[in-house]
Homo-oligomer: A and B are copies of this chain.
Amino acid sequence: MNDSIILKAADNVRILSAAMVEKAKSGHPGGAMGAATAITLLFAEFLRFDPKNPHWEARDRFLMDPGHMSPLLYSELVLTGRLTLEDLKNFRQFGSITSGHPELSVEHGIENSSGPLGLGQGMAAGVAIGERYKVAQFGDIISHKTVALVSDGGIQEEIAYGIGRIAGHLKLSNLIFFYDANGVQLSCKTADVMDQDFKKQYESWGWRVLEADGENVEELRQAFKAAFAETERPTIVIGQTTMAKGAVGAAGESFEGKVSTHGQPLSGAGASLEETVRHLGGNAENPFEIFPEVKEAFAERLAELEKLAAAWNAKKAEWDKQNPEKAKTLASWLNGNSVKLNLKDLAQKDDVATRNSSGTVLAYLAKNYRNIICSSADLSNSDQTQKFLNETRIMTPGDFGGAFVQVGVAELSMGAIACGLALSGGLYPICATFFVFSDFMKPVIRMAALQGLPVKYVFTHDSFRVGEDGPTHQPIEHETQIRLLEDLNKDDGRPQMLVLRPADAAETTVAWEMAFENEDSPTALILTRQKVGALPCPAGTTRYAEAAKCRLGAYIVSDNTPAGKKPDLTFVANGSDVLLCHQAAELLRKESKNVRVVSMISPKLFRIQDEKFRNEIIIPWTPVYALSSGLPVLFKDVVGGFGKVAGLERFGASAPASVLENKFGYEPDAVAKEAMMYLAEFEKNVADFKKVNG
């Protein structure tokens, strides 16, 4: 398009952005107006997509980091036919596609959910890595560019470094950032908080750095051309823009560059929407319009894109013919559900840590599937993702064919990249670290859940039994913490995340099957550092068959209660605590107690089963004693009104694991003793209750 049309379209975008925020009485107009010229140019001349097929695998991806700049994205999506003016009028209203911060909808051209600043940069890098990996497998036919919009706030986030470093190290030449440098952030001018040399910073990380006046179409065009043509390095285009470009007050006075226009309607900042619309050449009576010449220009662009996509489709059909095997594989990847595990015959050793049992599965996955990408935050030899790596190789700038990404010690970046790998399509990311460091990843695990991405997390070293490394390395509150995301439901009642803490090798195998059955939300596996023995197995079956019952959240591991009677006590636990409870149960059984032991790999999964099943596993109003390696609140929801959960209500300590098990009461006799005390307490509670509700 010619420059004047681009500028006209950008003003149109400014009008729409300001108008939708004003109508919603809420939102962020300033940034959207500032970056309008650059982003409009991108959509008008650079980004390649198929107007007829939003899921086109070779489309360029445009990811948002600053989700608050959503009016800009939504306006561009109207210009390019993926959203309607009506959608803009419903900005920030219940159920509308145009939510306050963008929510993933490839159908509508929204390639990622965004909001918490910084994470979008990592998702973009993940998409770019995914593209490189797939190109390494299938060739250039499916190559595309990934472009991310980054703001002043986002570029301050710590993760900007993690992603800058990793993308630079991997020489991701298919990744382009547009940095909207407008010098104004939500609460102040950027000069109050930063004065670094961005060019030097990104160059130190191996990026190509281009600078452009954010209002000079030709400068921007040349920068984007260079970025799209780059073959050696990721590129960041630093665009000097003006916050609230075009905003004026009632008397026509400028409101450009004001902090106040960042996070509220223009009228809230004292400016005038009407005057601004007029000033930008629009219709103050109805700002929700597309200028005719803009409409025409974008219609031409769409026609051009359709042709381009049609040409690609023809080329792809040809490629399919010439590469029937590859074509079949690619299609199977892109159709989803391509990793279907049946690990019944996978040999597992007993008496190893569940992280090792997981390692066995990881080796199997690497050997048998090419669309799983594994990462570790510099702990591969400890979290056992090394077993995966042993079957493949690390990704390097010269060779993207390896299915292992070494990210270094950068948990949050790893998590964001994993989201991006999932977003890129056809790939299953696995990422691993110590469970305690899941803290660093929380913001992005939440984003994986919110976007329904099938990322798999391997969290090893799952309790105080980490031992000598001490309290900084011993997860206590973490299992409950991560399960808070499991407590959130999708519209259909299924959990937004699956968290599995398997009790032995067989359950670990099954947990991995469950992780890959869970196609539309993230799954975390919580694994031990220390050895665990196999659970008892009834005659005539196998541990694998028993462990398969984990799919209902919980099952009975052992029970000496005669048929028709109720247990005197039911133990509930997961992970390494199940065998411990079984050992305690054996002690109580010697004292003629009828004791049931339940392994509960996921309390939430159990809670969403039907009542009949639940009441068979945990008989209501009977004594239930649950044991957590961390906080007791973990099982609070399943033990019933008279049940009890024991756990650890303190930070850990530095000492050998066996010493801590002794000090903290995690030995069979101690557990048996506590359980007996609970039974006495149960009786007292029942008596007290009857006094009140006799």
Give A contacts to B, CB under 8 Å. Answer: 24, 26-27, 67-68, 92-96, 99-101, 103, 113-118, 153-154, 156-162, 165-166, 168-169, 185-188, 190, 192-201, 203-206, 263, 376, 378-382, 386, 394, 406-410, 412-413, 436-437, 439-440, 442-443, 446-447, 449-450, 467-473, 476-477, 480-481, 484-485, 487-491, 496, 566, 619-622, 631, 633, 636-637, 640-642, 649-651, 653-656, 659-660, 663, 685-686, 688-689, 692-693
Contact = CB atoms under 8 A, between A and B. Distances in A.
A376 B206 contact: no
Given A192-B406, A487-B631, 6 more contacts: A92-B468, A94-B663, A101-B470, A193-B378, A196-B206, A200-B203
- Which among A162, A640, A649, A654 has the greatest number of chain B C-beta atoms within 10 A? A654
29 contacts: A27-B468, A93-B655, A93-B656, A94-B663, A100-B473, A114-B472, A157-B410, A158-B159, A158-B410, A161-B161, A185-B378, A185-B408, A187-B380, A187-B382, A190-B408, A192-B406, A196-B204, A200-B200, A201-B205, A449-B651, A476-B488, A477-B487, A477-B488, A620-B692, A636-B636, A636-B637, A641-B642, A641-B689, A686-B693
A361 B263 CA distance: 25
A659 B487 contact: no
A204 B194 contact: no
Given A158-B161, A408-B185, A650 B489 contact: yes
A419 to B, nearest CB: 13
Contacts of A642: 641, 689
Contact of A412 (B158, B379, B649): B158
A10 to B, nearest CB: 25
A654 B376 CA distance: 34
Contacts of A68: 469
A123 to B, nearest CB: 13
B660 A470 contact: no
Nearest to A405: B193
- Which among A92, A96, A484, A637 has the greatest number of chain B C-beta atoms within 10 A? A484
Contacts of A489: 649-650
Contact of A655 (B94, B199, B436, B472): B94
A1 to B, nearest CB: 32
A640 to B, nearest CB: 7
Nearest to A385: B187
A117 B113 CA distance: 29
Nearest to A96: B654
A380 B446 CA distance: 25
Closest CB pairs A-B (n = 3)? A115-B472, A641-B641, A161-B161
A482 to B, nearest CB: 10
Contacts of A653: 94-95, 99
B100 A469 contact: yes
Given A187-B386, A641-B641, A692-B620, A440 B116 contact: yes
A414 to B, nearest CB: 10
A122 B156 CA distance: 15
Nearest to A27: B468
B488 A484 contact: no
Given A153-B408, A157-B409, A686-B693, A487 B446 contact: no
